[in-house]
Chains A and B, each alone.
Chain A
Amino acid sequence: MKKTLLTILKVVLHVVGFPLLLALVFILNLDVIKGGSMYGVAVFVCAIITVVMAVVYYLAYFLVRTKKSRSIRNQHIIVAIVAVCCLSGFWMLLDGFIPGPLENATSSTVRWEDLSDNWGARAEVQEKLLRDYVTINYNLGRLTAPNGETIEDYISQGPNGNAELHDLLSHDYHSIDSDGYSSYMGPSIDYAQSDRMTIPVLLHLFLDDRSDVQGANSAYAKKNNLPEVTLAVPYYDVYDYESGDKIETDVRIYHGAANGSARFFVTDQDLNIKDDYTSRKIAVISQFGGGWALVVKSAANQNEYEAVQCATFSEALSKAADEISGIEFYFVGGYKQASVNWHVLDMLGTSMEMNILSESLVNTDLLAMLNESGMGIISSALPAGVQYISDILELDLVPDAFALVADMVAEDEVLGSPIYISLDSKTGTLTLEPSNSHRGVLGYMEMAWLDSQGLLYIIVSLFSVRTLFYIYGPIMGLIAVLLGFVREKEQALQGADGTATNAPQKAKKSKKSQKSDEQEQPQADDKAVDADDLIAEDDAPQQSAGSDIVDFDF
Chain B
Amino acid sequence: MHLNMKLKRKQTLLGILKTVAYFAGYPLMVLFVAIGSVPFYKEGAFGGTWYLGIVIALIPWLVSAILQIAFGTFTHNQYLKTLVVGVVSTVCMLGAAFALDLNGKNVMEDINQKYAATVTVDADGNTVVTPKQITVPTYRMGADGIDDVTWTMSSTAVSFETIDYLKGHYVSLTPGYASATDEFLGELHDFMRIYNVSLNGENKKTTEDGKHVTNTDMSLATIDPATGIPFNPNGVVSESYVYSVDFALNVLINYNEAVNKFAKHDPDMTVYVDPAAGETDAEYRARLAAMTPVEKLEAVYQYDLKRVINSDEYRAYQESAEYKAAYGDNGTAKKFMLTVDRVKELAPVLVRYLSFVLRHTQILESLGAEPLALYDSMLGLGALNDTLSQENYTIEDIHDWFTDVLVPSVGGLSADLASMLGGIADMITEDNLQALLSEYVYYYSPSVRTAFDFFGEAKEGDEYIGSYSMTTGVGEDSVTYTFSAEDMRAFAYARYYAKTNGAYIGSVLVGNNDDGLGKLLNADGNIGGVNMNSSGYPASFAYNLDQIYQLKADKEYVPALFPTLAARRYLYIFAGLVLLSIVLYYQFARRENEVIASIVVDQMKGGAK
Identify the A interface with B (CB < 8 A).
185-188, 190-191, 195-204, 207-209, 212, 254, 256, 258-259, 261, 263, 265, 267, 270-271, 273, 352, 381-383, 395-397, 400-401, 404-405, 407-408, 411, 413-414, 526, 528-529, 532, 535, 543-546, 548-554
Contacts and interface: CB of A to CB of B under 8 A. Distances in A.
Nearest to A188: B216
A549 B215 contact: no
Interface string B459-474: 0000000000000000
Interface string B36-55: 00000000000000000000
Contacts, number: 184
A270 B349 CA distance: 9
Residue in B213, B216, B366, B533 with the greatest tally of chain A CB atoms within 10 Å: B366
Top 4 closest A-B pairs, CB basis? A186-B216, A258-B362, A545-B600, A196-B506
B531 A195 contact: yes
B362 A261 contact: yes
A551 B68 contact: yes
Contacts of A397: 361-363, 366
A553 B367 contact: no
A203 B68 CA distance: 70
Interface string B320-347: 0000000000000011101000100110
A545 B604 CA distance: 9
Nearest to A400: B361
Contacts of B597: 543, 545-546, 549
B506 A201 contact: yes
B335 A209 contact: yes
B148 interface: no
A273 B442 contact: no
Contacts of A554: 22, 27, 65
Given A186-B215, A191-B505, 7 more contacts: A190-B204, A190-B205, A191-B504, A203-B442, A204-B216, A258-B365, A259-B362
B609 interface: no
B360 A265 contact: yes
Nearest to B442: A200
B217 interface: yes
Contact of B533 (A197, A404, A405): A197
A261 B505 contact: no
Contact of B205 (A187, A196, A258, A263): A187
Contacts of B531: 195-199, 201
Interface stretch (B104-112, B272-280, B303-311, B350-358): B350-358
Contacts of B368: 381-383
22 contacts: A186-B216, A186-B217, A186-B218, A186-B240, A187-B204, A187-B214, A190-B204, A195-B529, A196-B196, A196-B242, A197-B533, A201-B506, A204-B504, A207-B342, A258-B363, A265-B360, A270-B352, A397-B363, A413-B349, A414-B349, A551-B68, A553-B65
Contact of B9 (A413, A414, A528, A546): A528
Contacts of A381: 367-369
A207 B360 CA distance: 29
B366 A528 contact: no
A209 B336 contact: yes
Contact of A382 (B216, B346, B367): B367
A553 B68 contact: yes
B12 interface: yes
A209 B218 CA distance: 13
B502 to A, nearest CB: 9
B521 interface: yes
B589 A195 contact: no
A263 B215 CA distance: 49
A551 B148 CA distance: 50
Residues of B contacting A: mostly: helix
A56 B600 CA distance: 43
Given A208-B336, A383-B366, A551-B68, A263 B532 contact: no
A181 to B, nearest CB: 13
Given A208-B335, A404-B353, A545-B600, A198 B360 contact: no
A79 to B, nearest CB: 27
A267 B357 CA distance: 13
B521 to A, nearest CB: 5
Interface of B: 5, 8-9, 12, 15, 22, 27, 65, 68-69, 71-72, 76, 196, 204-205, 213-218, 239-240, 242, 334-336, 338, 342, 345-346, 348-350, 352-353, 356-357, 360-363, 365-369, 440, 442-443, 503-506, 521, 529-534, 589, 593, 596-597, 599-601, 604
B506 to A, nearest CB: 4
A332 B426 CA distance: 51
A198 B12 contact: no
A211 to B, nearest CB: 8
A541 to B, nearest CB: 12
B446 to A, nearest CB: 10
A553 to B, nearest CB: 5
Contact of A528 (B8, B215, B356): B8
A270 to B, nearest CB: 8
B494 to A, nearest CB: 19
Contact of B532 (A199, A526, A551, A552): A199
A201 B76 CA distance: 76
A271 B442 contact: no
Nearest to B334: A209
B5 A528 contact: yes
Contacts of A414: 346, 349
A412 to B, nearest CB: 9
A543 B596 contact: yes
A529 B8 contact: yes
A460 B239 CA distance: 36
B504 A185 contact: no
A195 B342 CA distance: 28
Given A207-B338, A553-B72, A197 B532 contact: yes
Contacts of A526: 5
Contacts of A198: 503-506, 530-532
Contact of A407 (B71, B214, B353): B353
Contacts of A545: 597, 600-601, 604
Contacts of B360: 254, 263, 265, 273
A261 B365 CA distance: 9
Contacts of A546: 597, 600
A357 to B, nearest CB: 15
A100 B213 CA distance: 19
Contacts of A529: 5, 8
A540 B554 CA distance: 54
Contacts of A273: 360
B447 to A, nearest CB: 14
A411 B347 CA distance: 12
Given A196-B505, A554-B22, A259 B336 contact: no
A549 to B, nearest CB: 4
Contacts of B366: 258-259, 383, 395-397
B353 A549 contact: no
A186 B239 contact: yes
Given A198-B505, A256-B361, A187 B239 contact: yes
A156 to B, nearest CB: 39
A57 to B, nearest CB: 32
Contacts of A404: 353, 356-357, 361
B532 A202 contact: yes
Nearest to B500: A200
B152 to A, nearest CB: 46
Contacts of A535: 12, 15
A254 B345 CA distance: 25
B357 A401 contact: yes
A395 B204 CA distance: 46
Contact of A405 (B353, B532, B604): B353
B346 to A, nearest CB: 6
B362 A263 contact: yes
B6 to A, nearest CB: 9
A271 B353 contact: yes
A271 B350 CA distance: 12
